[in-house]
Every structure is written in structure tokens, then in C-alpha cells.
Amino acid sequence: MTIAIATELIYLLAAVMFILGLQFLSSPRSARHGNWIAAVGMVIAVVWTVMLLRDSFTTAGLIICVVGFVIGGVVGVVSARRVKMMAMPQMVAIFNGAGGGAAALVGVAALLKLAGQPIELQSGFPEVFAVIIGGISFAGSVIAFLKLQELITGAPITYPGQHLINALLAIVILVLAAILLVTNSSIVVVTFMLALVLVLGVTFVLPIGGADMPVVISMLNACTGLAVAASGFALNNFALIVAGTLVGASGTLLTRKMSDAMGRSLVNVLFGAFGQVQVSKEGAQSTGARTVRSGSAEDIGTLLAYSSSVIIVPGYGLAVAQGQHALKELADLLERRGVEVKYAIHPVAGRMPGHMNVLLAEANVPYEQLKEMDEINDEFKHTDVALVVGANDVVNPAARNSPGSDIYGMPILNADQARNVVILKRSMRPGFAGIDNELFYDHRTILLFGDAKDSLTKLVAAVKAA
């Protein structure tokens, strides 16, 4: 068996493990094994590559491979171990950005290898593609990270002529790519193209609101996959093509599932500059002067303690406050008193689909109590109390009733149909989408202001006393 054939077989083995890994990741029982299988596939592919290269390392090459690998490994492990569950989405964003950046740099290096000579279209085209898509993914992921980490405002940043500027940037980039492919490899053109690609990545994500970041991250994840696949074409490498394409395809599907969950098209997410300051047209004037009813923890504790059924609607505010353990304590307490407790999980609760499940799992909330939207939406009208903890947009009736609203058409949880609605909230500030919420002004609604964790702790005490 020649080395070349062994290589193909080993990369095939790695590819099979990636496919199995993804398959196992799609079921709760086997998900963790799936991740391990994929990781082992990765180790196999990387170790074999190093074996292949062992005679061709230059001294400098060997040093940078070792140094890059060690530092990268340490940074990866430490940041992945330290990150709080709540900050998971931005962590995924930054890892994705790193991958996109690496794909872009691989493309750049390949393009510059034959400096001054004509580029072969067959390898040149995928190289250019990897630089463009990988670069956009890198810059876009960094912006997504900054927005979610709230280092820059989560609100959409818009300016006149935005789409036009982006379109022009894209055209110039394509022209540069064409120049590169028909003339000789040139470091000036490549550098210029890379710079513009990074600018485009930034300007592309800036106008998208923080609430839509998960969709954007998912899309950029798919993009990185495609950039990696393109590098695979350029380097003639089976493993890169298959793994990159797998991620590109599954990431695209996941992105579509996410925007579907919000009831909006992907185009609208990416180009709609959603959640701009203009509050929903008809709601704007009417809500200004209206009052809300806020209650004390004791009142609400009593209400909860003497109800027979409670549905908890957890949202991002819960995650921010790290209140999931206090919430679990409250739920346990209520259950011991014979109250039926369920959790209603909106598909986009938190910052990513499934994010809320991860957080609640951390607090040992049993799976059986977590209900998905379609499962539980009919139950609200027979429920005594809907307890909304740090959620807002996912229970906003404007999505159902107010065609002028930006979130109109998004499927929501029918918390407004419960006999009583209790909302734990930090302040009257609108939610992440920047839209006012009718539900707060409803006569059946009681608000308890404050940090979600503090409020929950007070409620625990109040229920105990009731």
C-alpha cells in the first residue's frame, strides 16, 4: 500500500467519523459520544498529516507549527473551560472566526506561493473563494462576538447608503479576484483584497441587531465550512473538502431552522436592519403614558403558592442573572406544595436555539418538564400563572396582533392567555429586539422589577412563608 493510498483511506476514516459524530450529535442520548467520535477523527487526520509532512518540515516551519499548536491549544482549552454557560454563543462565534481566519490565511499563503507567476484557475479559484468567504466569516464573527459581549452596542448600526456601500465593496472584491485570476499572483492585489474582505465582514454584520446574532453566527459557521472546503479543493485534500462541506451543508440547514423559528426569512434577518429605534408604528404613542402594575415579592409568592399550575417562561434575563439555580429551587418548592410546574421553551429563548435548555440542564431541571413551544402553547389558557423570567420578545403579543411590528409573524408563547401573568424584569426597557411589549400593560400582569436571581430568591422566601 502506497503512502498516497494510505492517506486517502485515513482521511476517509476521519470523514466517516465526522459524519457519525454529526449524526450522534443529533440525539440527546448519544450527543456526547458524537462529539468524541468527531474529535478522535480530527486527531487521526491531524496526526497522519504531521506524519506525512515529517520529512518536508523546514526548521522555521517546524517551529511555527509547534508554537502555533501549543499556544492555540492552550488558548482554546482555557477559554473553553473558563467561559460561562451564558456566554456560550459568543464563544462559538470567536472559535468560528478563528477557523474562518485560518481558512483565509491558508488561501492567502497558497495564492502568494507563486508570487509573480500566473495562477492556475483550477487552484486559484478555490483559493480566492477561501480568502473571501473565510475573511468575511472572521471579521463578521468578531463583530458578532463584540455585540453579544456588549463591548459594542447590540442595536443595529445603520447609516445611509449602507446596502449600496456593501454592494460596491462586494463588486470591488470580485473585480480584484478576477484580476488576480487572469493576471499574475501579486501581493499588493491579495493584500488589498483581504483588507476589503475584512471591511465587508464588519459592515455586513454591524447593521444586524444583537437578537439576530445566533442566526448570523450559524450562517458564518456554514460559511467557514465552505471556505474550508474550498481550501480542500486548492490543496487537493479530501478531508478538508468533506469536513468543510458537511459543516457548510448542515450549518445552512441549521441557519434556516433558526430563522424559521423566528418567523422571518433569512434575507430579512440579514438585510432588514431589524429592531431599529422606530417602535411598532401603532404601539408607539399609546404605550407612552400607560401604567404597569408592579407587585411585591410577597404578593407574587402567595399567588404562586396557592395556584395549581404554573408555566415558567425563561429568557435571556435569567441567563444574564445566572438565576437558573434559584429558579429550580423555586420550582421544586412549588412542586412540593403540589403545584404543577412546567417550563415553556421558545425556540429562540436565550441567544441561540437550545441555549435555554443547556442553561436549565446545568441547574438539573428534568427534561420532562421542558416543553417546546408547540407542545405547550395550548396549555397556557388552562394555567393559573405564567411566570416570565427575563423573557420579553418571545411573549410579545405584537407578534400576533400588530402587523406593523417588526416581530409580526414570529411564533410566540401564549403567556398572555394564562389567568395571571407574572413578569420578572430588570426594568421597563424594551427587549433585545427593541420593541415595546403590550403584555406588560395588561390588567392580568404583575411585574416584579429587579435582577432575575434576586427576585427569584425573594420569591423562594415568600413561597416558603406563604
Partner 1 sequence: MSEQTVILFTYFVLAAFIGFEVISNVPTILHTPLMSGSNAIHGIILVGALLIAANAQTPLQIVLGLLAVFMATVNVVGGFVVTDRMLEMFKARQPGGEKGKES
Q: What share of the chain is helix, strand, coil (3-state, %, to 5)?
A: 65, 5, 25
Burial status of residue 159 (CB atoms within 10 A of its CB: 0-12, 13-18, 19 or more): exposed
2 binds partner 1 (CB under 8 A): no
Q: Which of 6, 9, 28, 163 binds partner 1 (CB under 8 A)?
A: 28
Matching residue, cell 416558603 = 464
Residue among 271, 270, 269 at smallest CA distance from 261:
269
**Concatenated DSSP letters of 373-412:** HHHHGGGGGG-SEEEEES--GGG-THHHH-TTSTTTT---
From residue 407, alpha-carbon distances to 138, 246, 412, 416, 427 in Å are: 29, 32, 10, 16, 21
Mark the segment that binds partner 1 (CB under 8 A) among 255-263, 314-322, 335-343, 452-460: 255-263
Number of residues lying near partner 1 (CB under 8 A): 118
Mark the segment that binds partner 1 (CB under 8 A) among 95-103, 157-165, 309-317, 335-343: 95-103
Residue among 349, 331, 348 at smallest CA distance from 340:
331
Q: Minimum Å distance from CB 163 to partner 1?
A: 28
Which CB sits closer to partner 1, 252 or 396?
Answer: 252
Burial status of residue 351 (CB atoms within 10 A of its CB: 0-12, 13-18, 19 or more): buried
Lookup: cell for 364: 438539573
32 binds partner 1 (CB under 8 A): yes
241 binds partner 1 (CB under 8 A): yes
Binders in 352-391 for partner 1, by CB under 8 A: 352-355, 357-358, 361-362, 364, 366-368, 370, 372, 374-375
CA distance 111 to 127: 7
Q: Minimum Å distance from CB 112 to partner 1?
A: 7
Q: Minimum Å distance from CB 27 to partner 1?
A: 6
184 binds partner 1 (CB under 8 A): no
18 binds partner 1 (CB under 8 A): yes
Binding flags for partner 1, 437-456, as an x/- string (CB under 8 A) = --------------------
Which CB sits closer to partner 1, 40 or 179?
Answer: 40
Q: Minimum Å distance from CB 146 to partner 1?
A: 17
Q: Which of 257, 290, 429, 464 binds partner 1 (CB under 8 A)?
A: 257
Q: Minimum Å distance from CB 271 to partner 1?
A: 22
Residue 184: strand pairing partners:
118
Which CB sits closer to partner 1, 52 or 155?
Answer: 52
Binding flags for partner 1, 42-81, as an x/- string (CB under 8 A) = x--xx--xx--x--xxx-xxx-xx-xxx-xxx-xxx-xxx
| Catalytically active residues, by annotation | 393
Single-letter residue type at 278: Q
CA distance 455 to 463: 12
